[in-house]
Structure 1
Amino acid sequence: MKKSAQALLVMLLGLVIAIVLYQYILQQKYEKRPLPTNLHPRVEEASNALIADAAEIGIDITITDGYRSHQEQESLYEQGRSTEGSIVTNARGGDSYHNYGLAIDFALQPSANEVIWDLNYDGNGNGKSDWLEVVELAKALGFSWGGDWENFKDYPHLQMDFGLTLRELKRGKRPRDVLEEE
């Protein structure tokens, strides 16, 4: 009985060591990857499709932001805290899907010289909020919406996370890894 318990303990210890080693190897594989410098191709494609799909139902939109460097994100985070303006984000540099090319922000553009963030505006006159119509189109294209977040509602924000957490992205894992595994 004692030998079988020892054998089981050795097996479990071996399994734990194997798991730790595997995690270390994965971390080394991804950790040294450079950060993206633009939108992920699927996000960019969906962004362009969103603009076209919205135009088909009489809603003009503009993409107000896409990829952001960590430094740009940090500057936005400081807004309303240590610099002038209102707080627009709770995400520090590296803590936003924008920093990995996986998020966009949009606004309505009722005319060439006008950009609005009015959630109730009905410019196409169909009795529905243009904003929510755009969100519906975006979700059909695979985006998730910041307006659905529990704590900090970010109504202009759309993102595709490809099932990756910010922690995984910070450690160097990229959507192409997820797509290659599928």
Structure 2
Amino acid sequence: MRQTSSILSTWLIIILFFVLLFTLYNQQNKKYDDKGKDASIPTQLHPIVEEHKNKLVKEAENIGIELIITETIRSYDEQNALYEQGRTTEGNIVTHAQGGESYHNYGLAIDYALSDQDGNLIWDLNYDGNGNGDSDWFEVADIAKDLGFEWGGDWEKFQDYPHLQMTFGLSIRDLQNGLRPKTEQGVEEVDN
């Protein structure tokens, strides 16, 4: 009798484990498409990122800030070339991500700069082109965060002030393994 009870308990635990695993799998697949490990790399921004990028530019314009999007999607080769900058080629180190290790490679990140009245790009974090006493750079970052972007300026180890990304809860490893955020997610479901 005791052995039968132990066997039933073991089977019950196994069944519960698989029910839990199945439930978690289905919950994940409601938000993500599993394209498999050989998934192709996107060739354009994710539609939600594109929509929020456009809102960001418009909202910045509404408060007198001329915002320029300097980077969107990036190929692995372009990412590797940026990674080499400051290492094997001239210039400052601008990234710690090699090809396949950046949200830019998956259409989930953008970079920005400011523009002055003459159309010159501004990289000065203290620039106050709209004259309200606040840094335009940080005003843009605040707008972006309100729209669901994660800002590279908030990172602890390597502040990447021009960088904005939407992870949709996916890690780089998830993306490398073929998971992609669904394109029909509602704006309210954007989740970093």
Q: TM-score range by the shorter chain?
A: 0.7 to 0.9
> Contact 1:50–1:141 (CA<8 Å) still a contact in 2?
yes
> Contact 1:36–1:101 (CA<8 Å) still a contact in 2?
yes
| 1:106 and 2:107 matched | no
> Contact 1:162–1:178 (CA<8 Å) still a contact in 2?
no
Aligned partner of residue 122 in structure 1, secondary structure:
coil
Provide the C-alpha distance between the structure 1 equivalents of 2:168 and 2:159, rounded to a whole number of angstroms: 21
Give the 5 Å matches for 1:75-90: 75-90=81-96
Structure with the higher fraction of residues in helix conformation: 1
Q: CA deviation at 1:137?
A: 1.2
Aligned partner of residue 6 in structure 2, secondary structure:
helix
Match of 1:93 in 2: 99
Match of 1:145 in 2: 151
Aligned sequence identity (%): 53
Give the 5 Å matches for 1:49-60: 49-60=55-66
Match of 1:161 in 2: 167
| 1:70 and 2:91 matched | no
Q: CA deviation at 1:117?
A: 1.1
> Contact 2:151–2:161 (CA<8 Å) still a contact in 1?
yes
> Contact 2:46–2:183 (CA<8 Å) still a contact in 1?
no
Q: CA deviation at 1:89?
A: 0.5
Provide the C-alpha distance between the structure 2 equivalents of 1:112 and 1:8, rounded to a whole number of angstroms: 75
Q: CA deviation at 1:131?
A: 0.6
Provide the C-alpha distance between the structure 2 equivalents of 1:97 and 1:112, rounded to a whole number of angstroms: 32
Give the letter for the 2:131 counterpart.
G
Aligned partner of residue 174 in structure 1, secondary structure:
strand
Q: CA deviation at 1:10?
A: 4.3
Q: CA deviation at 1:86?
A: 0.9
Deviations 1:35-61 (A, max 9, x none): 101111111111112111111111101
Alignment length (residue pairs):
177
Distance 1:40 1:177, change over 3 A: closer
Match of 2:35 in 1: 30
Moved more, 163-172 or 99-108: 163-172
Aligned partner of residue 116 in structure 2, secondary structure:
strand
Provide structure 1 residue ranges, at least 5 long, that are not aligned to the other structure. Answer: none
Give the letter for the 1:33 counterpart.
A
Give the 5 Å matches for 1:2-41: 2-13=3-14, 19=21, 29-31=34-36, 32-41=38-47
The two structures have a TM-score, normalised by structure 2, of 0.81
Q: CA deviation at 1:5?
A: 2.1
Give the letter for the 1:30 counterpart.
K
The two structures have a TM-score, normalised by structure 1, of 0.85
Distance 1:151 1:8, change over 3 A: same
Distance 1:177 1:61, change over 3 A: closer
Provide the C-alpha distance between the structure 2 equivalents of 1:49 and 1:113, rounded to a whole number of angstroms: 21
> Contact 2:48–2:183 (CA<8 Å) still a contact in 1?
no
